Amino acid sequence: MKLLVTGAGGQVGWELARSLQPLGEVIALDRHGADLSDPQALRETVRSIEPQVIVNAAAYTAVDKAEQDEAQAEVINARSPGVLAEEAKRLGALLIHYSTDYVFDGEKQGRYLESDPVNPLNAYGRTKLAGERAIAAAGGPWLVLRTSWVYSSRGGNFPRTILRLAAERERLTIVEDQFGAPTSARLIADLTAHLVRQARGELAAARFESEVLHLTAGGEASWLDLARAVVDGARARGMPVKAAEVTGIPASAYKVAARRPMNSRLSLDRLAERYRIRPPDWRQGVALMLDELAAAPGAK
């Protein structure tokens, strides 16, 4: 089986290149090999490879920048995923695509179901929602996986920023009233491999159903909870930590260009029902990331 991964230079794409290896030949392309800002070139790339599975981990993820660059974000997050879905349908290939908690406005009390009304607050969320709809409109076999608060031991992300700031400052102030599930790229990739394996079996048995699924780590946290877990875990591992105090502030006091939902908690019930997957608590992913970083040369 031939599996095409786009966005191989990103957090999730890098992990996918590892987790999908047992399933077949993995062709992992970064933006130079599969450029989602050029939909026609992307179409030609897929046709030259003819994969049986496409996993699209590429996206325009600069949430605040997208407020002034929505047209480009729309090409990468909506038009190109639509092209991938069209080509997947033509090939009879399975498409896996990642979306976001930001398709919701965060006004709901409790966890969002896949079927709940969408109402994105920012350009990034609007373009990701447009991508979901473009994929559904193409009509081939697909799974759209909505995830949240993604991080890894590499690249730019919230926990790595906290580690840097904690080594430089004595006091950190972090948003305390936005809630979600911090989800490691490694977990996303490992669960994706499980989904691909089962979905391929369903396709072979002619009982596959395309749908949107929520896929995050278990549990819930505020950004403050996550920051404290990172700082405390780093200190326990002997990593450089100067910060003696990590305190909370309301989101209203932290000025950003793009509004974020206050509630990004996603229900995982459908994931458990269809795929028998119950992801581990988010703290396990943070611990694994810190173990990896603490073991790196020069970490202490």
Distance in angstroms (rounded) separating the CA atoms of residues 138 and 164: 43
Nearest to 230 by CA among 294, 296, 170: 294
Sign of CA dihedral 217, 278, 267, 203: positive
CB-based contacts of 236, cutoff 8 Å, min separation 6:
none
The answer to whether 124 is a known catalytic residue is yes
Planar angle of CA 262, 264, 267, nearest 5 degrees: 145
Indicate which residue of 60, 112, 124, 151 is catalytic: 124
Q: Catalytic site residues?
A: 124
